[in-house]
Amino acid sequence: MATFFEQVSEMGVKQAIITKADDVVERLTAGMNISDIRSALRGDEPRRPNPRLRPHADSFWFHIRPSFYHTEVTHIYPTFRLGWLSTFMFVWETITGIILMVFYTPSPLVAYDNMWNILSNVPLGQLMRNMHRLGAEVMVLVVALHMLRTFITGSYKKPRQFTWATGVILLTLTALLSFSGYLLPWDQLAYWALTVFLSGAEAAPAPAEFNANVLLILQGAPSLGAGGLLRWYLFHVLLLPLITAIFFFVHYYKVVLYGISLPPGREEIGEDTAKRVPKNERTYFTPDILTNELMWTALTTLFLVAGALWFWDAPLEHHADPIVTPLHVVAPWYLSWSQGWLKLADKTIVIGFIPLLIVMFLVMPYVEVGKSRRYADRRVGLTVASLFFAFMLISNWMGTPEFRVASSPELEVAQEIMPQEGANVLLGVPYEYLDTGLYVPGEEIPDNPYLTRALEEFEAAMQNHSCVLNGNPDMPRQGIWDDCRILDGERYGNGFGDNAMPDPYATLRITVEQANMKRLTLHFEVPDPNNPGELLVDSGDSIYAFRHEGSFYEEECRFLNKDC
Amino acid sequence: MQVKVVIGTIAFMLTMIILGYAALREPERLEHFSAASEGRSIETGAKLYYDNCATCHGVDGKAQECYDAAGNSISCQGLPLNSYFLVCGDTPARLEQTLFEGTKVQFIERTVSAGRNGTAMIAWSERYGGPMRDDQVKNVAAYVLNFANEEFCAEEPISFNWPDAYEDLLTLETEDFVAAPGDPENGAAVYTSFACNSCHGNVDEAGSNQIGPWLGDIAEVGATRVEGQTASQYVYHSILYPNNFIAPDCATGPCVGPPSAMVQDLAFRMSTNPQDMIDLLAYLVGE
Ligand code: HEM
């Protein structure tokens, strides 16, 4: 081969550069030169021998992709792009995660400060954090939906049983990845979610000594602390991604090996023709699948960036405090079903049932060996699956805070409008609208829509937890409350539940605490109907929150996942 | 085919535009979050303050209104934290007085963390056996320093120019202040309203002192402390300059210091009504 200088003297500078560029591109693409790429993008017929197939032999990244697909599986149905999307999310999480790693140290002394540093000091840090956290939740959803679709289209059946089994492991790993990241901000949300989760280990159906050791390994010390955080950090950034990558490649190798299954109606029962693709039904990877994937990459990125910027916000609560248990510890939604189950059955049974369920999923395709993938022939299987799906949805709902064990009604009211953690209606009132004074629920404050709205929410919360017994002259607008149902002489019910305050009196007091900070005090008084003159509840000044001028809670209230 | 390329390109460009927009608003957003970070630290500090510190340092850090856990009013044992001399300026007077080298943040964090020997101020940091984590110590300090706002620190609070010799105070006649003969009855009230009794006990009851020396016999003992000082001169100087002489007879043995555990800014706080000093001495020493 002539050197570049020889070419220059032979054909002039311009032509030599063009030839050289062509040469470089061909090496990079492992087989396609510039005009091949242009013709592929235009959608022309390839020249012979087809240069678009060479990368599949010579390039690493192309050789792990098939050179063509059956045209039937390139449409939205049957894959819904969910397997591809799962892969995309895994890569997405890896990239955003590596960026976050730069600003994070897994130590209880600084982890929480690191989060605030990412938010307040790292350019685009909040966006990066939101994208990673949103991505984690989207990934769980996408992988679960992918599983649902491979079940519905019967793609787990012979010969793809092993693909399904590795998939089950991947789903478990995805949930663990998501959840292990949950602890890292080291805030109250993180700390208590993991503490509750780990307490499950103690209840596992195994010898107590074994359980105690598992717990010790998982939290690094008798209680969750520096050692535990380091371990979960290492799970999250090292062990779990590594295992996930390994299983992903096994999974994907099997997908390529057997080909993506055709829509069930397209084949004879019991046949698998995915790999026997007639010439006229082939869709080549280059250019069709490739451009398709690039388009979806661009679109998904757009959705995730826009979502993380404008619609969704990663939560950050107060610093983790092992001594202060929050009123309601909430599991992330994708594990809510387990909290729901705890309300149905004994803890040991639930903890024992989960691994059993995973094993059942693993072996399912080896046990369910019905030949037909057609929907009409799988009525029993699809019905069982739908019932299971419904059961999971209901369990999840039961695990959310709406379905919870209530504490005392006045604390519930406080929890609804001014919880210890998270953005809320009262703190969400912009600072300059927090006029000092004494207010009652539902009061309308002229020229102050924010405070008025907060007091409306106060009224709504009161309505949920109050009832009218004899009436309370100090409380305007109690007409909207239900009448009390007397339960056992001590407790009272209303239309919302069995734990209501009879004739309560409630106020919100806003006072100046420091020149740039106000104090919001909720006060509740409930007269004791059985001992006139006595109070059943007198919260005094004990329920309060501070609101600093700069705290900026109102900003949080704009997002879909924060209600205030 | 072409459609896919077009859609993909548009989506890519939109993403870039959004990122560009996000980058442009970053400076403002970072500023907001810095303020939020600090504001929330102060809020958390305020909660910690009321849970741990207010029993001694009082409501609003003024060391005037203190309540025990049951809500009963008690005398405040701590120094006022809402004080010009603790929080205002780069090197507040309190730092100089205690010979502290460092910033006021460090001063407060250090005092909270390690406590003050010989006083009711314990070491609060987990590192020294107390209950608070590092982040909590930081939050409390942020709350205390948040008393320093422009208005509060605009000018030094009026402070009386105490004459060095007690005799001069007794005969002082200026535009704002004319000394009157001491009134022991008001002196007794001053003794409790400035919470002297919380450390020095009840003057009628020997041994009732909690921390500092018992003052029931100060009229005699005071004259023996510093050569050349009468009992009134000695008490007067002990209030003005608590660290100059460390008494040998605190509640649990010799007093520690300097700096003394004695309240450091009593003279400053009496500035609003210097007659209180004369009445207090009339009550204690009886001249
Ligand atoms: C990190 C998680 C996962 C990734 C990255 C992943 C990736 C993929 C990809 C790229 C495909 C190609 C076809 C398609 O897009 O549908 C696929 C197919 C498949 N996946 Fe997954 N998957 C994951 C989890 C799962 C799970 C949880 C299951 C089920 C338990 C599963 C079972 C299957 C099966 C049976 C196929 C073959 C489908 C067919 O041939 O039609 N995968 N997977």
Tell me the DSSP string of A403-431. Answer: S-----HHHHHHHHHS-SSS--TTTTS-G
Query: Considering only CB atoms, which chain B residues are within 8 Å of A309?
Result: 18, 22
* pLDDT tens sequence across B172-198: 888 778 888 888 898 988 898 888 888
Nearest 5°: CA angle at A278, between A276 and A284?
A: 95
* Residue nearest (by alpha carbon) to ligand 1 atom 9: A83
Give CA–CA dist A433/A452, Å, rounded.
10
Across residues B3-8, what is the average pLDDT?
A: 94
- Decide: B28 and A126 in contact? Cβ < 8 Å: no
In the numeric block, the tokens 């107390």 are attached to: B130
Distance CA A453, CA A443 (A): 9
Q: Ligand 1, atom 12: nearest CA belongs to which residue?
A: A83
Pairing label, strands A505-514, A437-439: antiparallel
**CA A82 / ligand 1 centre spacing (Å):** 8
Strands A482-483 and A466-468: parallel
Please name which of B181, A241, A361 lies closest in space to residue A353, comparing C-alpha atoms: A361
Residue A433 is encoded by which pair of tokens?
């609208």
- CA distances, B267 to each of A329, A362, B246, B277 (Å): 52, 80, 17, 8
Assess whether pLDDT exceeds 80 at residue B103: yes
Between A400 and A519, residue with greater pLDDT: A519
State what percent of residues in chain B have pLDDT above 90: 38
Contact flag A551-B2 (C-beta cutoff 8 Å): no
**Nearest Cβ partner for B33 among A109, A120, A513:** A120
* Band (B207; pLDDT cuts 50, 70, 90): confident
Q: Report yes or no: B285 at the A interface, CB cutoff 8 Å.
A: no
Distance of CA A485 to CAs A288, A450, A558, Å?
Answer: 68, 34, 39
Helix axes B2-48, A290-306, angle to 10 degrees: 30
Burial track B142-156 (b if 16+ CB lie within 10 A, e otherwise): bbbbbbbeeebeeee
A169-218, pLDDT tens digit by residue?
999 999 999 999 999 999 999 999 999 889 888 889 999 999 999 999 99
Specify the amino acid at residue A37.
Answer: I
Query: Given this model, what pLDDT does residue A403 score?
Result: 58
Across the range A123-128, mean pLDDT stands at: 97
Distance CA(A372)–CA(A379), nearest Å, equals: 11
CA atoms within 13 A on the CB side of B135: 21
* Residues 121-140 in A contacting B (C-alpha not used; CB under 8 Å): 121, 123-124, 126-127
Beta bridge partners of A512: A518
Lowest mean pLDDT among A547-556, B24-33, B54-63, B75-84: B75-84
Residue A261 in contact with ligand 1 by CB distance below 6 A: yes
Count of alpha carbons within 13 angstroms of residue A280, beta-carbon side: 0
When CB atoms are compared, the residue of B5, B34, B43 closest to A547 is B43
A373 lines ligand 1 (CB under 6 A): no
ipTM value, please give it.
Answer: 0.90
Judge if B61-153 and B166-284 fold alike in CATH terms.
yes
pLDDT over 70, % of chain A: 99
Chain A CB within 8 Å of residue B17 CB:
no
- Chain B nearest C-alpha distance from A10 (Å): 38
Contact A517 B152 (CB under 8 A): no
Show Cβ contacts of residue A273 under 8 Å, excluding neighbours closer than 6 positions. Answer: A262, A266, A267
Q: Which two tokens stand for residue A198?
A: 């780990």
Contacts of B7 in chain A (CB under 8 A): 295, 298-299
Mean per-residue pLDDT over chain B, rounded: 88
Average pLDDT over residues A325-346: 87
- E strand or H helix that includes residue A391: helix A379-399
The domain limits of chain B are 61-153, 166-284
- Whether the Cβ atoms of residue A438 and residue A507 lie closer than 8 Å to each other: yes
Q: Is the pLDDT of residue A400 over 90?
A: no
Ligand 1 proximity of A66 Cβ (cutoff 6 Å): no
| Interface test with chain A among B2, B7, B15, by most A beta carbons within 10 Å | B15
In angstroms, the first-to-last Cα distance of chain B is 106
- For residue A28, the tally of other CB atoms under 10 A from its CB is 11
Locus of tokens 């010898």:
A207
Q: How far is the CA of A340 from the centre of ligand 1 (A)?
A: 28
Query: What is the per-residue pLDDT across B52-85, written as a single tens digit (0 to 9) for each?
Result: 999 999 999 988 889 988 888 887 888 889 988 8
CATH hierarchy code of domain B166-284: 1.10.760
Share of chain B above pLDDT 70, in %: 99
Q: Does B126 touch chain A (CB under 8 A)?
A: no
Average pLDDT over residues A227-240: 97
Mean pLDDT of A4-14: 89
Rounded distance between C-alpha atoms, residue A357 and residue A353, angstroms? 6
- For chain A, the domains span 4-63, 70-402, 409-559
pLDDT, residue B252, reads 82
d(CA A267, CA B144): 76
CB A318 within 8 A of CB A187: yes
Is B61-153 a CATH 3.30.1490 domain?
A: no
Q: Do B33 and A547 make contact, defined as CB atoms within 8 angstroms?
A: no
- Ligand 1 centroid to residue A147 C-alpha, Å: 7
For the cut 90, the answer to whether the pLDDT of residue A516 exceeds it is yes
Whole-number mean pLDDT of chain A? 93
pLDDT at residue A394 tops 90: yes
Task: Using a CB–CB cutoff of 8 Å, tell me whether A517 touches chain B.
Answer: yes
Q: What is the pLDDT of residues B117-164, one digit of tens each?
A: 877 899 999 999 999 999 999 999 999 999 998 888 887 776 778 888
Chain B partners within 8 Å of A319 (Cβ): 44, 133, 135-136
In the prediction, which pLDDT does A402 show? Answer: 60
Question: Quick one: which H or E segment has residue A132?
Answer: helix A125-152
Range with the largest mean pLDDT of A228-242, A477-491, A548-562? A228-242
Q: For residue range A56-113, what is the model confidence (pLDDT) as tens digits?
A: 999 999 999 999 999 999 999 999 999 999 999 999 999 999 999 999 999 999 999 9
Give the pLDDT confidence score for residue A561 in this predicted structure: 80
Report the DSSP pairing between strands A492-494 and A497-502.
Answer: antiparallel
Q: Tell me: the pLDDT tens digits for A370-381?
A: 999 999 999 999
Cβ of residue B2 closer than 8 Å to a chain A Cβ: yes
| Residue A36 to residue A26: CA distance in whole angstroms | 9
Q: How far does A243 lie from chain B, in Å, by closest CA? A: 32
Contacts of range A272-275, beta carbons closer than 8 Å, 24 or more positions apart? A272/A158, A272/A159, A274/A70, A274/A73
Q: Cα dihedral sign for B225, B230, B236, B237?
A: negative
Q: What is the pLDDT of residues A33-62, one digit of tens each?
A: 999 999 988 888 999 899 999 999 999 999
Q: Does A550 touch chain B (CB under 8 A)?
A: yes
Whole-model pTM?
0.86
- The Cα A501–Cα A527 span in angstroms is 9
Identify the burial level of A405 via C-beta atoms within 10 angstroms of its C-beta, where 0-12 means exposed, 13-18 middle and 19 or more buried: exposed
Residue A246 in this model has a pLDDT that exceeds 80: yes
Residue ranges of alpha helices (H) inside A158-314 are: 161-182, 188-202, 208-219, 226-234, 240-258, 290-306
Contact B99, B140 (CB under 8 A): no
The CATH classification of domain A70-402, taken from the options 3.40.50.720, 1.20.810.10, 1.10.3720.10, 1.10.357.10: 1.20.810.10
The one-letter code for the residue type at B31 is E
Ligand 1 pocket member A264 (CB < 6 A): no
- State the burial class of residue B287 (Cβ atoms within 10 Å of its Cβ: 0-12, 13-18, 19+): middle
Answer yes or no: is the C-beta of A147 below 6 A from any ligand 1 atom. Answer: yes
* pLDDT value of residue B169: 83
pLDDT (average), residues B84-103: 86
Q: How far is the CA of A87 from the centre of ligand 1 (A)?
A: 9
Inform me whether the pLDDT recorded for A406 exceeds 70: no
B65's tokens:
């209104």
Do A143 and A172 contact (CB within 8 A), yes or no? Answer: no
Residue A283: pLDDT over 90: yes
- Inter-chain contact A297–B8, Cβ cutoff 8 Å? yes
A414-453 pLDDT per residue, tens: 988 998 888 889 999 999 999 999 999 999 999 999 999 9
Q: Which helix (H) or strand (E) holds A548?
A: strand A543-548
Contacts of A305 in chain B (CB under 8 A): 15, 18-19
Instruction: Show the tokens assigned to A391.
Output: 């059961």
Rounded Cα distance, A83 and A293, in Å: 12
Inter-chain CB proximity B7 and A295 less than 8 Å: yes
pLDDT in tens, A256-276: 999 999 999 998 998 999 999
Instruction: Give, rounded to a whole angstrom, the gap between the first and last alpha carbons of chain A.
Output: 71
Residue A461 CA: distances (Å) to CA of A90, A357, B154: 41, 40, 44
Kindly list the distances between the CA atom of residue A162 and the CA atoms of A126, A142, A251, A363, B241, in Å, as whole numbers in the listed order. 40, 20, 8, 9, 85
Q: What is the Cα gyration radius of chain B?
A: 26
Check CB contact of A291 with chain B, cutoff 8 Å.
yes
Tell me the mean pLDDT in the region A306-315. Answer: 95
